[in-house]
Structure 1
Amino acid sequence: MQLGELDVILIDGRSGSGKTSLTERLVTRQRLDGGRIQVLHVEDLYPGWDGLAAGSRSVATALDAGGYRRYDWHAETFGDWIALTTDRPLVVEGCGAVTAENLAAAQRWAERIAGAASPARVHAVWLDGSAELRRGRALARDGETFRPHWERWAAQEDRLFARTQPETLADEIIRIEEPARGPVD
């Protein structure tokens, strides 16, 4: 997966699957290659710990509007406007990123980048791994902040993913078996 060959990459998976780590590696590689990139973290759209489905639905709205108000987890309200520009590639990462509606919005957004001269290039990735591995990774990352919310969040994931079926929409499925290492090719 080469970001320079794409307009939009959507990276989805359950908590602890490595979405943010993969995104960070892609961004670093793109910047090392001299490219500019922007990232929409779906967690910036969740209206709190019970907001997975609402945040997922907000991705398409943000792409169509060219920006979004970032959720402030400490103030528990939406705050700063974050603009999304069509002058550089975009990575959308987070639980709920890959849905049919979000893919359609990503396609529209990518068409604004590509223009009439070339086809829009959108790529969806699903990261998957065992619940035990993911839980260990999530708690190692977020510790006591996430521990009381794990079961509640996992139940939201179950409901959302049963409805949206992101693994069937993905262009690529990456199975995790241990912590992410090494560069992304």
Structure 2
Amino acid sequence: MLSEIVARVVASEPRLGSTRLVAVDGPGGAGKSTLAAQLARECDAPVVPTDSFASWDNTLNWWPRLESQVLEPLGRDAPGRYQRYDWDRRALAEWHEITPGGVVVLEGVSAARAAVRPRLSLSIWIDTSRSLRLSRGLERDGSAALPLWEQWMSDEDNHFAADGTRAHADVIVNGTASL
């Protein structure tokens, strides 16, 4: 499956300036980071995680910062530059620069939202059961994070229902299968 996705990325046209922007989307705990890392390695591409913009307090309304710091500059073939959000410190941390051209993998919840679809060269959705996603999330974040995860899952359910993200995906991947 990974080789098929890579072939589609390579065959795609740049739609964000000279950059092929590939979104790896799906709900929290679906396996997006794993697939994005594999894809980035195969395509020699940086990963821009939406978790560098989102927070427990701002699950989905962080998009303007991604637009102004990364997408707009790349669309002009200028470097993108963003400050990563540190979830543990609950504050902005170090800066990252993204060079235009080639492939950039945008990974995370709502990475393929309607606002970016016209600029995506490929959109990937990862399907994974709710119970497995919650289990993965609590394994990573600890059982005390259960109320946060429940709110997060509710927020993303509402977003995905309104946005129709899965229905617009170019590729749907089973998040329980190995690539």
| CA deviation after TM superposition for structure 1 residue 158, in Å | 1.7
Q: How many residues align?
A: 159
| CA deviation after TM superposition for structure 1 residue 141, in Å | 3.3
Q: Tell me which of 88, 97, 113 is aligned to 1:99.
A: 113
Tell me the amino acid that sits aligned with residue 155 of structure 1.
S
Moved more, 64-73 or 142-151: 142-151
Tell me the amino acid that sits aligned with residue 10 of structure 1.
A
Matched, 1:43 2:51: yes
Corresponding position of 1:159: 158
Supply the distance in 1 between the matched residues of 2:129 and 2:86 (Cα, whole angstroms): 30
Deviations 1:90-122 (CA, angstroms, capped at 9, x unpaired): 000000101121223x35xxxxxxxxxxxxxx0
| CA deviation after TM superposition for structure 1 residue 57, in Å | 4.7
Moved more, 17-26 or 132-141: 132-141
Query: Is the Cα contact below 8 Å between 2:52 and 2:85 reproduced in 1?
Result: yes
Q: How large is the RMSD of aligned CA atoms in angstroms?
A: 2.1
Matched, 1:63 2:71: yes
Question: What's the TM-score once normalised by structure 1's chain length?
Answer: 0.75
Matched position secondary structure for 2:56: coil
Supply the distance in 2 between the matched residues of 1:67 and 1:88 (Cα, whole angstroms): 16
Tell me the amino acid that sits aligned with residue 52 of structure 1.
T
Question: What's the TM-score once normalised by structure 2's chain length?
Answer: 0.77
Matched position secondary structure for 1:157: helix
Matched, 1:149 2:166: no
Unpaired runs of 5+ residues, structure 1, are: 31-35, 108-121
Query: Is the Cα contact below 8 Å between 1:124 and 1:172 reproduced in 2?
Result: yes
Matched position secondary structure for 1:95: coil
Supply the distance in 1 between the matched residues of 2:91 and 2:21 (Cα, whole angstroms): 28
Tell me the amino acid that sits aligned with residue 59 of structure 2.
L
Supply the distance in 2 between the matched residues of 1:127 and 1:162 (Cα, whole angstroms): 15
Tell me the amino acid that sits aligned with residue 76 of structure 1.
R
Deviations 1:110-149 (CA, angstroms, capped at 9, x unpaired): xxxxxxxxxxxx0001111221121122223333464341
Alignment of 1:78-89 (within 5 A): 78-89=92-103
Matched, 1:77 2:91: yes
Unpaired runs of 5+ residues, structure 2, are: 13-19, 74-79
Corresponding position of 2:41: 28
Moved more, 4-13 or 143-152: 143-152
Supply the distance in 1 between the matched residues of 2:134 and 2:32 (Cα, whole angstroms): 14
Supply the distance in 1 between the matched residues of 2:72 and 2:144 (Cα, whole angstroms): 32
Matched position secondary structure for 1:100: coil
Tell me the amino acid that sits aligned with residue 27 of structure 2.
R
Supply the distance in 1 between the matched residues of 2:94 and 2:128 (Cα, whole angstroms): 34
Query: Is the Cα contact below 8 Å between 1:63 and 1:84 reproduced in 2?
Result: no
Corresponding position of 1:54: 61
